Structure 1
Amino acid sequence: MALLRDRIHAHWKIKSSQLQEIQQLENFLMSSISSSDQQQVFTAVESSFRNIFNKQKGIHIHKFSMLKSCRDKVGSDPASGSKKFVLNLSEYALTDHEESDLRKGLNFSIVNPHFNLDMACAVESVITKLPQILGMEFRWKVRSMLQKSKSPTSNIRKKELKAVKSLRLNKGIRILPADKGNCTVVLNEIKYRDKINTLLKSGVYEPLAKDPTARVERRVQQILAKYKTALPAKVKQKLTPYHSKPPHPKIHKPDIPLRPTASSIGSPCYALAGFLQEILSPLASRSGIFVKNSGHFIELLMSVNLRRQDMLASFNVVSLHQRTSRRSPSGHQK
């Protein structure tokens, strides 16, 4: 609730600031254009505002109804909910509390009951670097603030907390997010390592003598420096170090293979790629083979005259991120 109140307060501050800007713009328009032109501008702005507001309102209502229907389905049948969100492929039998923890998702954050104590210890390590008088004053302010604050309420039961510790100490299993769907997968550690070794020994990977991220980042920065007058500074500021993710199991594939997933978010070329995408995306719709989504694909099929001998072929790429031979692509498609 405290976080929610802070968010509401922040939004009210933003709204107040925007209202002041609107008032300044209205005063500027009233002193710059005639009354008839003012009325036309205000009417156009009001119409645009209503259209955007109704559109966003409809989107949020649709999202809320979808989330509510999903919650009702899971709540009406707990067994189906557990099968949907937790897939145990290991030989270890999960307890009810362990399965309940995994159903919360791998991004679930457990409230720290010793938050005040941890904050006091962290502040104390900083106070030692301050002058004595300033440090004592700062320590007293932090102490009075912590005394007034309430300890956070736990968002997990004691038995579930013990189950979390049990899963963490279990070295015989590996818990991973699924490649598709909001599902948590439990694998045997031995099978997981075997799948990793199979990937590494497939002949498409080779060890690197040095991490090339810094070199690529310097190269990108040098290229952007040549066009510093043409490109905004924010594009260059978004270039951050590379961040990788572990392989995700593909539970919808036979034998549950591992997918070598490399996240480009935060990589040296990530912001530059997003900048180029905004330029190139409008050109893609002009192509004769462009398909926006499945709905657009259905619309295109409605205008096609099908014959009895016609067939619909669907190609499934077995390995998307590995090296693909240009001469023989059929070996990588199934």
Structure 2
Amino acid sequence: MFCQCDRKQRSKHDTKRTNLVSALRRDRFGACSDNYDTIINLAGITLSQLQKDVLCGGMDFGIPPKFNQTDILAEFELLQQQLSTVPAKSELAAATCRASLAAEAFRFAQSPPDTRSFSLTREHIKVLKELRKNPEIVISRPDKGRATVIMSAVEYRAKMMVILNDTTKFCRLGPCDGYDHTANIDTKLSKYLLFLSRSHQITQYEHDRLAPTGSTRPRMYGLPKIHKKNIPLRPILSMSGSPQFKISKWLCAMLQTVLALYNNHCVKDTFEFVDNIRKSKFESCGYMCSYDVVSLFTNVPLRETIDICAAALYHNKSVTPPDLNESEFVKMMLMVTSGVEFSFDNVMYKQLDGVAMGSPLGPQATKQLAIGIKECDAMSVVAASEVTLVGYGYYLSIHPILRYYALLPNRGNELKQIGIE
């Protein structure tokens, strides 16, 4: 009996170890794929076989690293320090171990990396560099799904300029060489955080953690929405390392206490949504429709959303308000959203309204806005008679700024917006 249980436990452990090693190898060395359907060639260029091999792997390929001798020797030094805490049989054995470890460290640091296990060969890497340096195309992942999208650089820039030319949302400043104010924004935010620290609205630890130093300017790019007509772009603002990034994440954690009160109205992903639907009972003569907000992030009314966040955080009896004053909270939210300056195509812009996807506050702000608009439901069931009247989609005026597109099931009973049938 014990032997049988031991074998089952050993088999379970071996399976778990095999799966873990396979995942580590896939992340480290990349995964080979011959599914060329994942390549969306919108530019219409002719691709060689090697180029297809590189692109069909998407982001899941591994490139042999360039070893740094100093880093390798430092890792061996740390290993030697850890081994020194283990009692040795004798001083001679400890000295022999240190000498062997030092010899192996120098031998390993001077040897080239073994590239045989990587999914990309030297020829693939050469082709990858050629594709990256091609000024006529832009290669990116899609907004949804796993694929590799190739777009014409001219078309990509034109679609991005349609977004950035909206003067109600963005303001063009000028070339990056003369209008990059990242260092000045660093100084401004640092002084403001120092004021909050001295007025005891944040702790010294929070001041030291949030104060920006050596920041880089945010950069805007677009991801193609290949599931939509005419393939528009979703603007993404890369905020990592920017002056506002750490403060934005801190504010997100602060707002999380409010969102936790509404978890019963939110779903984590499609799988949780399907589980909830299966447990619900609906009339058989109804259709389910989804509401898709047109350009949600860029159309979020920023001041209204911040007021909703402040009201939920400071005027809700179920939430303990933070030490930060409400007026300073509103000011800080405006500083890290409406005052964001970023670059696209070596030109600086300033965001005036809305929140960009990629900003840590983006998802939080849209959730708070949806909670504030109480008559808005993300999903609903409509009567079968309404389907014959409105067809397969119609616009709703739930909010004076946001346009909701109610998407009804297609003839295959599929809701494409959320990918379920």
> TM-score normalised by the shorter chain: which range applies?
0.5 to 0.7
Aligned residue for 2:173?
Answer: 208
Matched, 1:317 2:293: yes
**Percentage identity across paired residues of the two chains:** 21
Higher share of residues assigned helix: 1
1:83 maps onto 2:37 in alignment:
yes
- Shift in CA distance, 197/286, structure 1 to aligned 2, threshold 3 Å: closer
Counterpart residue number, 2:134:
170
User: What SS does the corresponding residue of 2:291 show, helix, strand or coil?
Assistant: coil
What is the Cα deviation at residue 279 of structure 1?
Answer: 3.6
TM-score, L = length of structure 2: 0.46
Q: Does 1:284 align with 2:256?
A: no
Counterpart of 1:273 in structure 2 is 248
Give the superposition deviation at 1:97: 0.8
- 2-structure distance, mates of 1:201, 1:278: 33
> Secondary structure, in 3 states, of the residue corresponding to 1:315?
strand
Q: How does 1:130-279 map to 2 (within 5 A)?
A: 149-154=110-115, 155=118, 156-203=120-167, 204-208=169-173, 210-211=179-180, 213-228=182-197, 230-233=202-205, 236-238=208-210, 239=212, 241=215, 242-279=217-254
Which consecutive unaligned segments of at least 5 residues does structure 1 have? 1-56, 117-143
Deviations 1:223-266 (A, max 9, x none): 32234364253664353524324212222222221111112333
- 1:265–1:273 distance in 2 versus 1, CA, 3 Å: same
Cα drift, residue 100 of structure 1: 1.8
Residue pair 1:172, 1:190 contacting (<8 A) in 2 also: yes
Q: Normalised by the size of structure 1, how large is the TM-score?
A: 0.56
Q: What is residue 123 of structure 1 aligned with on the other side?
A: none
Work out the number of aligned pairs and report it: 243
- Which structure shows the bigger proportion of residues in strand conformation? 2
Residue identity in the other structure for 1:315: Y
Give the gaps of 5 or more residues in structure 2: 1-12, 70-104, 302-398, 408-421
Match of residue 330, structure 1, among 403, 415, 418: 403
1:269-315 superposed Cα distances (whole Å, 9 cap, x missing partner): 33233233334323323238631424554565567553356553311
User: In the TM superposition, what whole-angstrom CA distance separates every residue of 1:175-226 from its partner, at most 9, and x where no partner exists?
Assistant: 1222233322111233223323333345543302544544544343233223
* C-alpha separation in 1, matches of 2:112 and 2:140: 32
CA distance in 1, matches of 2:67, 2:273: 54
Match of 1:48 in 2: none
**RMSD across aligned positions (CA):** 4.3
Say whether 1:97 aligns with 2:97.
Answer: no
Amino acid at match of 2:403: S
Judge conservation of contact 1:235–1:271 (CA < 8 Å) in 2. Answer: no
